[in-house]
Amino acid sequence: MKLVASAAIAAVTVLAATSVASSSPNPRPSRDEAALAPTRAAPSRGVEAKVNALLAKMTTQEKLQQVQLLSDGQVTDADARVGVGGVFSLVDPAKIDHLQHLAVEESRLGIPILFAYDTIHGYRTIFPVPLAAASSFDPSVARADASIGARESAVVGLKQIYSPMVDVSHEPRWGRIVEGNGEDPYVGSVMAAARVKGAQGLDYSARNKVVTSVKHFVGYGQPEGGRDYDATDMSEQRLRNLYLPPFKAAIDAGSDTVMCSFNTINGVPGCANPYTETDILKDEWGFDGFIESDYTAVAETRACPPVTPNEGSCGHGTAADGPEAAANALMAGTDSEMVSTYIRDYGAQLLSQRRITKSRLDDAVRRILRVKFRAGLFEHPYVNQAKATDPASFLTPADRTAARTAAGKSMVLLQNNDATLPFDSTKKTAVIGPLGDNQHDMLGPWWGRGEDADAVSVLDGIAAQSPGATFAQGCTLSNDEPPAYDPANDCASDDGFAEAVAAAEAADQVVLALGETREMSGEATTRSTLDLPGRQQELIDAIKATGKPFVVVLFNGRPLTLGAVAESSPAILEAWFPGVEAGNAVADVVFGKVNPGGKLPVSFPQRLGQVPIYYNHEPTGRPCDVTQKYVSRYRDLRSCDPLYSFGFGLSYTTFSVSGLSLDRASVSPSGKVRATVTVTNTGDVAGDEVVQLYLHDPVSSISQPVRRLRGFERVTLKPGESRRVTFTLDRSDFGFYDNRGDFVVEPGQIEVYAGDSSQATMKQTFTVTGR
């Protein structure tokens, strides 16, 4: 028997899982529960009355101007005077204020412009990249990043940010994996909600808050071959179980704008997809904000040949020309068109031809106006130039402290043979490698308005704690952008190796700063290999030959294939791109001021050929067994696992997670089960452990993943200290979506696993009854 919940009910319950941690009888809400708690406000009658009154005054051309979103390079004074709806990537507060004055004082209806920007992991105070923040397994890291970024963005006149990016991805070749939260929808959901709440607060009309745009809707993180902008194809149940949950979490947290994606999903472009945009987002989830297209995404739905001269981008072939592209996008649910101008240019013609409807155009405009009223733009449209140009508004000491804390929490200790780390800061330290005396790359991709000079290099951070630290570059990495970028220029020469070896031999210990440049990650940066670029591995081998203790500190925006690195290095610290406080945070961890407690939010393959490899895969009738032939395996690998699994991370202390117990053996489909474990610091120093809870449904109508993360809690414990951690599970945890889009809870046994990674073995079971 199958118990089916309606799609509307499922949408409310799918992310309602709770988790609590306490050493007292009255447990407090855990960080992941608090992050997921819905905060969406009920529609305001006052706002709706204002929207409707303004809409009733608008001409067709004024409505079409409101759905237009222009870049900083496109917008003119004339656009402001005729009431353009939005402008993005303009950051000059004087020009923002100038255009806003024109829109408010010289356009017929005085509707303010919504100015937007890609504040991804900071505006001026650059935090660790989002993939790094996900490694913290601490939503307070994401929330602090978003809160500071929102304040700094808002002070210059920006009132919308194109963040958070919540695309779940199993594709380390894809450059934009750096902008998201990795391979797991639950971690993605927690971090998405935390970022929305940090940026928007309870009311984004506040002068230090902004409205968020969650992106890219949907399936953008799983393109064919890992190639950016490429096609995505997946089943209904995969879409709903893996890729939609972080978007739903962001919407529940209050995100009022959404960006549709470049890619097609099952053959339909994301920005012309009525099923995802209207049926799911607007109707099923009750979303009343607006959807903007990504950059020229509406134009890119057109067929390429024949091309009308000067019409710009084209590609997917679901529209013959500009008018058809405009009609398809608007009627599918896209409310605002970025860069391309088809809806604005052809809208009147399409209305007269009845290819679009007045009600749909009015709906799009109503949604845009609704967000502008909620943002307080009509009450406070202008920029406070004194604050916008005051250096004290940005990069404050408190903000730097928050960024440093975030970076320390986000680093993952992958290897520490023979307790190589932490180093003794009183000993002589050599910093070696192309990223060792480097500020530029520490900021990572999407660095907002951060400046290279803002960042603390590894050398400066190490030298501040280990005076007299020396440096040798070893080799160089190219910061060229495609198409000028040539991989042959990356660490191509060993001319600097001798100097590096000499520096190592003259020191007591070595910090090797290696990895990728920031230009190698982010949009349009797909890689066909995942090895360290160039001859960096040879540099490692040269330092190893000196016999000096060393740690490889990695700066990168994706999982890398680190088999050779692990074989030759006593210690490996994954630092990702840590932001403005990079060097200080690295030094904190290397010298033991901060005990690393981060965990991997994404699997690291042994070799590229394993991709895609992810922990929450579906089982097979012939599971991997390296001693057998006719099973699901790679014959040239002696292990079935990734090199480093999801949820993995070491510490300078040791922990035990024990005593998994359930408060009941069976539960009704609408009931709850409490799972409790004890985590103990069994080592000699204080540290953080991330307790993780996974479920598996072994018998179901649709094959279920071998593990699904359904709760986590990062706890700080002193040596010898223990804490009980309790997770509450309900139908949203032991149910799933089927291929009809229905959320189902089926009777049967559920397996519960707890531990410190996705490979946890401690298990208990409970039974979901038929009624």
> Catalytic amino acids?
294
Distance in angstroms (rounded) separating the CA atoms of residues 195 and 178: 16
Burial 593-615 (b: 16+ CB within 10 A, else e): ebbbbbbbbbbbbbbeebbebbb
Distance in angstroms (rounded) separating the CA atoms of residues 746 and 682: 40
Query: Nearest 5°: CA angle at 459, between 506 and 600?
Result: 110
Task: Answer yes or no: are the C-beta atoms of 36 and 193 closer than 8 Å.
Answer: yes
Phi, psi of 489, rounded to the nearest 5 degrees: -90, -5
Dihedral angle sign, alpha carbons of residues 254, 260, 265, 268: positive
Only one residue has tokens 């549709």, namely 260
DSSP H helices, 337-417, are: 342-352, 358-374, 385-388, 397-410
In the numeric block, which tokens belong to residue 247? 């978007």
* H/E element, 501: helix 497-505
Residue type, 557: G
Rounded to whole angstroms, the maximal C-alpha distance in the chain is 80
Which stretches of 290-447 are assigned E, i.e. beta strand?
290-292, 337-338, 412-416, 429-432
Give the full edge-to-edge strand order of the sheet including 655-662.
28-29, 18-21, 722-729, 673-681, 655-662
Give the full edge-to-edge strand order of the sheet including 708-717.
666-667, 762-768, 748-755, 687-696, 708-717
Q: Around 731, how many Cα atoms within 13 Å sit in the side-chain half-sphere?
A: 22
Quick one: 700 exposed, middle or buried, by C-beta within 10 A (0-12, 13-18, 19+)?
Answer: middle
